[in-house]
Structure 1
Amino acid sequence: MTDVALIPWSEDDLDLLRRANTPELMDQLGGPETDDEVRARHERYLRLGREGAAHQFRIVIPDHPEGVGIVGYWQREWRGEPVLEAGWSVEAAHRGRGIAPAAVIEMLRTARERGDRLPVHAFPRVDNPASNSVCRKAGFRLVG
């Protein structure tokens, strides 16, 4: 398995979020955001983390302490039930090396260690084979 570490989201991660704001990485989320929108999302990650409603992490690999991606989970309702939704993004230069599945597995372990017991779901689009592969490798089951 790929060696990854997850660092809780901090003030220092705004540049990582800016690097993730590319057409390629944001194509499944409606496209790139303006800098004001990126800043607002960064502040939202920080606020929701403080409130305990979401947990975002910088994905770190050896020789890249600045991070190569983002992984996290947050509370939401699905089919009338509370669940946790997981999401991730790995920079293009670091894709295809097993980083995303390793980060998602580590995130799930971290969530359980924190006492988060709600079911965890991911909602990649059917036309996103890379994210669907991450789901399979991380142990998610297709439920709809």
Structure 2
Amino acid sequence: MEGTDERTGAGAGAVRLVPWGEGDLWLLRRTNAPEMTAHLGGPETEERLVLRHRRYLDAAPGRMYRVTLADGGETVGSIGHWQRTWRGAQVWETGWAVLPEFQGRGLAALAARAVVRAARDAGEHRYLHAFPSVDHAASNAVCRRAGFVLLGQADFEYPKGHWIKSNDWRVDLERGD
């Protein structure tokens, strides 16, 4: 998937999805700040970050990515798609994090559009879901801008033992909506 770019005419530039690598643990540490994990149950311990990094390296089926600016290669965040059982069916799920200094530029929506293509190319599942907290306005806006359809609300456990009220956003990978 190296080389997958998503561009916009809105001045945000373009992003590239780079497969998650051994040297990307630093990015998990950067996004583990209280302000970036407030909607996800708070920061994780170093031990949990290392375990998550290992899962990211072996995310099959699915894949995690470092999101970079297409021009210059500067890392702006992460995104991925992974398998989950949702309401009795196997689906892809996605989630992302954008570093604070790059937020508000439309880069997360660009990355989400690119991960829709990556999930479509991976096959296996018809649907890609995102489950942002209902009170996380920015992530819900990313879903809307990336072409996801809002299906409603759901109680969602993330991380394990922490329940949140989420919106269930979905893209039909066969139809493109």
Whether TM exceeds 0.5 here: the answer is yes
Q: SS state of the match for residue 97, structure 1?
A: coil
Work out which of the two has the higher radius of gyration on C-alpha atoms and give 1 or 2: 2
1:10 to 10, 21, 35: 21
Deviations 1:63-87 (A, max 9, x none): 343x110101111111111111110
Q: SS state of the match for residue 142, structure 1?
A: strand
1:113 is matched by which residue type in structure 2? D
Q: Is the 8 A contact 2:92 2:119 kept in 1?
A: no
1:37 maps to what in 2?
A: 48
**Superposed displacement of residue 25, structure 1:** 1.1
Percent identity reads 47
Deviations 1:52-71 (A, max 9, x none): 22311000013343x11010
**Superposed displacement of residue 115, structure 1:** 2.7
Q: Is the 8 A contact 2:19 2:65 kept in 1?
A: yes
Which structure is higher in helix share? 1
1:12 is matched by which residue type in structure 2? G
Deviations 1:21-58 (A, max 9, x none): 1111111111111111111110111122xxx2231100
Q: Give the TM-score, by structure 1 length.
A: 0.91
> Any runs of at least 4 consecutive aligned residues in structure 1 with deviations exceeding 6 A, and if so which?
none
Q: SS state of the match for residue 106, structure 1?
A: helix
Greater relative contact order, per chain length (Cα 8 Å cut-off, separation 6+): 1
Unaligned runs of 5+ in 1: none
Superposed CA RMSD: 1.2
Unaligned runs of 5+ in 2: 1-7, 153-177
Q: Give the TM-score, by structure 2 length.
A: 0.75
**Superposed displacement of residue 3, structure 1:** 0.3
* Bigger Cα displacement from structure 2, 112-121 vs 16-25: 112-121
Counterpart Cα distance in 1 of 2:14 and 2:42: 30
Q: Work out whether 1:63 is the aligned partner of 2:72.
A: yes
2:33 maps to what in 1?
A: 22
